[in-house]
Amino acid sequence: MSPARALALFGAGLFIGAMLVFMGMSALAQRHSVPRGTMAMMQYHLSQLRQSTRSMACEDERARQHLTRLGALATDAGPIFAQIGFDEPVFLRHREEFLAEIATALASADCDAIATRVKPISESCDACHHAVR
Ligand code: HEC
């Protein structure tokens, strides 16, 4: 084999290798896009919940809407996170605990009572993150 040909083959090999790495990486990123999107939405609804409970006229209806969304997202998180390997008991247990926090908050009599539940909810987010990430 001539040196030029060997070099060309080597170049082609590098190129194909780089392509494969790139494809693998974007497949991996795509696999994580729905779980990350789910968490981004949870982040959004938590901060909106915090805002609506802190506003002068604590907005009951709105606070409940954000709580409902958080509950639905956490429910979805089960199958969504299972796809990227989060299906061990510790993840599932933290998810149950989070859902229980949401249920407690939803059972609150009024917006001021919901306001006192925001901290435990956000602590429940952190508890899962510390346990599994
Ligand atoms: C039952 C476990 C669990 C609960 C509860 C939970 N998370 Fe997560 N969260 C995770 C895991 C696992 C990841 C890592 C996902 C990944 O690497 O793709 C994550 C990642 C995140 C991220 C980073 C996303 C990114 O782009 O990398 C944010 C922000 C986040 N969570 C916010 C929240 C908020 C806000 C709450 C509560 C309202 C919450 N999470 C509750 C398990 C949980």
CA-73 nearest atom, ligand 1: 38
Angstrom distance (rounded) from CA 5 to CA 108: 75
Q: What is the pLDDT of residue 97?
A: 98
Q: What is the pLDDT of residue 117?
A: 97
CB 125 within 8 A of CB 98: yes
Among 70, 1, 79, 4, residue whose Cα is nearest residue 35? 79
pLDDT in tens, 12-29: 888 888 888 888 888 877
pLDDT in tens, 69-125: 999 999 999 999 999 999 999 999 999 999 999 999 999 999 999 999 999 999 999
pLDDT in tens, 39-61: 999 999 999 999 999 988 888 99
Angstrom distance (rounded) from CA 121 to CA 70: 10
**Ligand 1 proximity of 36 Cβ (cutoff 6 Å):** yes
Domains in the chain, ordered, with CATH? 35-132 (1.20.120.10)
3-state secondary structure of 86: coil
**Ligand 1 proximity of 39 Cβ (cutoff 6 Å):** yes
Token pair listed for 115? 């306001």
**Ligand 1 proximity of 7 Cβ (cutoff 6 Å):** no
